[in-house]
């Protein structure tokens, strides 16, 4: 199977799992609710029964927003104008590229989301590998069975990403970049060098991401228990199929960039400041839903390529999860035979 066929297969598998899409979308909303309620309380406390509150309810009041940002602390510091529409996408990309530290509250919520995702990813990958509905018992049975290995793999990935952002990023941009541009007098040349360093660091992150993706796939599809063994096996698969893996990753990335471009066009047409805040909110929710679909497509297409390149689907999928009988039925089945009366 080539990369294009794997992408098409992944799109089809993700489309045939609407419950998985709805569940991941609901999980994101569920995790965001506590932060939203806390931020809502801050906004109510700051606005109070004032004219600014009426103006903020009618449309976006940037003067009040600047006043709120100047005195905000903690979670309130994240409520900035750049969170509106496409600005949020650009801000997230910029913060990642420049290694901007997360607020403590945000970091805690992200950590909780990653734990939940580690649990659900076992069922998601199992569903895509079988390419059929596994129902609630089969889905959560697979999630629970693979969770110990996946959470250990997740801890290893956090360590690797911490090393990348704690040591490699500062070394590239604070040390090497400074020395490389020390004698440059043209700002454009320094910018091009910085783009080169961004590309280099992004390549490192992509390589790490791909290896851990296929490590998760090997844990679930081959029913592995060793996260370290799965990591080595995932790296080995990426090394042996570098061209196909890279092409598939590129195709998935192109789809994501097309989604971002479409979202940018929509948000420019639907401006929250132009008395259409609900349309802007709806556009944002549709974007999040589409982004979840593409994330699932990413997993499904990688699963399809792994099954096609390594072995046939029946071999590469874990055995069906058999749910046990109820305690009452099992006690009757195991009861000693009763003699004649």
- Tokens 């390549």, located at residue: 203
Q: In this predicted structure, what is the pLDDT of residue 91?
A: 59
Query: Does some domain include residue 332?
Result: no
Q: In this predicted structure, what is the pLDDT of residue 180?
A: 81
At 335, is the secondary structure helix, strand, or coil?
coil
Query: Does some domain include residue 340?
Result: no
CB atoms within 10 A of CB 142: 26
Per the confidence metrics, is the pTM higher than 0.85?
Answer: no
Q: In this predicted structure, what is the pLDDT of residue 216?
A: 92
Say if CB 256 and CB 8 are below 8 A apart.
no
Cα–Cα distance measured from residue 50 to residue 330, given in angstroms and rounded to the nearest whole number: 66
**Distance spanning both ends of the chain, measured CA to CA:** 66
Please give the average pLDDT of every successive group of 10 residues along the chain, which has 341 residues. 88 92 86 72 66 58 64 62 56 62 67 84 90 85 90 91 87 82 77 86 91 92 88 92 92 91 77 57 81 92 88 53 54 59 51
Q: In this predicted structure, what is the pLDDT of residue 207?
A: 92
Say if CB 316 and CB 251 are below 8 A apart.
no
The residues, any chain, with a CB within 8 Å of residue 79's CB and separated by 6 or more, are 39, 42, 43, 68, 69, 72
Cα–Cα distance measured from residue 132 to residue 280, given in angstroms and rounded to the nearest whole number: 36
Q: In this predicted structure, what is the pLDDT of residue 100?
A: 63
Query: Does some domain include residue 331?
Result: no
Q: How many domains are there within the chain?
A: 1
Structural domain span for residue 248: 3-324
Query: Does some domain include residue 339?
Result: no
Cα–Cα distance measured from residue 273 to residue 119, given in angstroms and rounded to the nearest whole number: 40
Q: In this predicted structure, what is the pLDDT of residue 255?
A: 92
Among candidates 121, 118, 128, which has minimal Cα distance to 10?
Answer: 128
Q: In this predicted structure, what is the pLDDT of residue 294?
A: 92
């Amino acid at each position: 199977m080539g990369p294009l066929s794997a992408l098409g297969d992944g799109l089809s598998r993700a489309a045939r799992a609407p419950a998985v899409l709805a569940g991941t979308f609901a999980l994101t909303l569920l995790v965001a609710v506590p932060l939203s309620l806390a931020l809502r309380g801050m906004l109510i406390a700051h606005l109070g029964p004032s004219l600014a509150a009426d103006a903020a309810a009618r449309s976006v009041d940037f003067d009040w927003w600047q006043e709120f940002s100047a005195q905000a602390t903690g979670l309130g510091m994240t409520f900035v104008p750049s969170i509106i529409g496409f600005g949020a996408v650009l801000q997230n990309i910029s913060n990642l590229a420049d290694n901007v530290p997360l607020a403590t509250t945000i970091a805690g919520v992200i950590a909780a989301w990653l734990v939940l995702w580690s649990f659900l990813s076992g069922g998601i990958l199992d569903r895509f590998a079988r390419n059929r509905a596994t129902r609630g018992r089969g889905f959560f049975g697979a999630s629970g069975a693979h969770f110990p290995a996946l959470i250990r793999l997740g801890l290893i990935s956090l360590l690797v990403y911490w090393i990348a952002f704690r040591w490699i990023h500062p070394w590239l941009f604070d040390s090497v970049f400074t020395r490389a541009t020390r004698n440059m007098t043209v700002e454009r040349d320094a910018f091009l060098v910085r783009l080169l360093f961004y590309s280099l660091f992004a390549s490192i992150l992509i390589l790490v991401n791909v290896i851990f993706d296929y490590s998760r796939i090997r844990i679930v599809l081959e029913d592995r228990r060793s996260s370290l063994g799965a990591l080595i096996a995932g790296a080995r698969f990426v090394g042996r199929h570098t061209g196909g893996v890279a092409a598939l990753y590129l195709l998935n990335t192109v789809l994501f960039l097309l989604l971002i471009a479409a979202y940018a066009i929509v948000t420019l047409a639907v401006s929250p400041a132009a008395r259409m805040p609900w349309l802007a909110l709806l556009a944002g929710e549709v974007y999040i839903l589409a982004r979840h679909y593409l994330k699932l497509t990413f997993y499904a297409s990688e699963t399809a390529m792994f099954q096609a390149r390594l072995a046939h689907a029946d071999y590469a999928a874990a055995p069906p999860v058999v749910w046990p009988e109820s305690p009452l039925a099992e006690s009757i089945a195991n009861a000693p035979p009763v003699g004649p009366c």
